[in-house]
Structure 1
Amino acid sequence: MQWNLRMRAAERGIWKSAEMRRRLAAAGLEISAGKMSGWWAGTPPTIRLEELDVICSILECTPSDLMTPEPEKVDARRPRQAEAINSENENGPRVAPRFGKPRSEPPL
């Protein structure tokens, strides 16, 4: 996901992180300077839903306006089918669970 807080803030005339932080505080959300700096820099945030609600309220947007999916990054993380088959052959057979024979009971 790409985090677009700065772009959405600019669309509302908020050009500095300090101004955004003041507006969040006025809405009841106190954010540390470090956390705000990370959000403003575009670092994908760790964010609570309550925080997201306040941000969306201030910027008059939806969560989907703040986040843009990047499916190509997801695809890049998946192993290619041929690579997965080759690594399986090199590492031996896949381990599969055995059903039918339960573990023994512990001693009393």
Structure 2
Amino acid sequence: MRLASANRGIWKASELQRLLAERGLVISAGKMSHLWSGQPVSLKLDDPDVICVVLGCPIDELLIPEPDQGPPAGARRAARGRYGFGGAADASCAASPGRSFPATGLNDGGMSDGGA
């Protein structure tokens, strides 16, 4: 983001922060510092759209793929199983005795009459 800003004559994070606020995106000084340094902690999915409008740049000028920065392959596999995306952990998602679902038709396989 710093390079995209500099290419448009914006040299200070505070200047970009002010321009973003004018467009409705209010960012704290701490979050702005992380964005400016290229290491944001988090970002809402709508934020890059506003940033691109303010800077007049395409999204790919802000987002640079870093394929080697993800967790090791084994960690991804473990997380998939742990969160119900395959493997033995999926059995834990099934209904257990004494546990009920809300009245949305889930208990009867989705065959609810909708309360009619």
Normalised by the length of structure 2, the TM-score is: 0.58
Aligned with residue 61 of structure 2, among 61, 65, 73:
65
- The aligned amino acid for 2:26 is E
User: What are the equivalent positions in structure 2 for 1:37-48 lying under 5 Å apart?
Assistant: 37-48=33-44
In the alignment, the residues of structure 2 paired with residue 58 and residue 34 of structure 1 have an alpha-carbon distance, to the nearest angstrom, of: 20
Matched-pair contact (CA < 8 Å) for 2:31–2:40: no
Q: Which residue of 1 is the match for residue 92 of structure 2?
A: none
Offset at 1:23? 0.4
Q: Which residue of 2 is the match for residue 31 of structure 1?
A: 27
Deviations, residues 35-59 of structure 1 (Å, cap 9, x unaligned)? 1011111114411122111101011
In the alignment, the residues of structure 1 paired with residue 36 and residue 24 of structure 2 have an alpha-carbon distance, to the nearest angstrom, of: 19
Larger Rg: 1
User: What are the equivalent positions in structure 2 for 1:1-108 lying under 5 Å apart?
Assistant: 5-74=1-70, 77-78=72-73, 106=97
Return the structure number with greater helix share: 1
Aligned residues: 80
The structure with higher relative contact order (CA 8 Å, sep 6+) is: 1
- The aligned amino acid for 2:49 is D
- The aligned amino acid for 1:41 is S
Return structure 1 stretches of 4+ with deviation > 2 angstroms. Answer: 71-74, 76-79
Q: CA RMSD in A?
A: 2.5
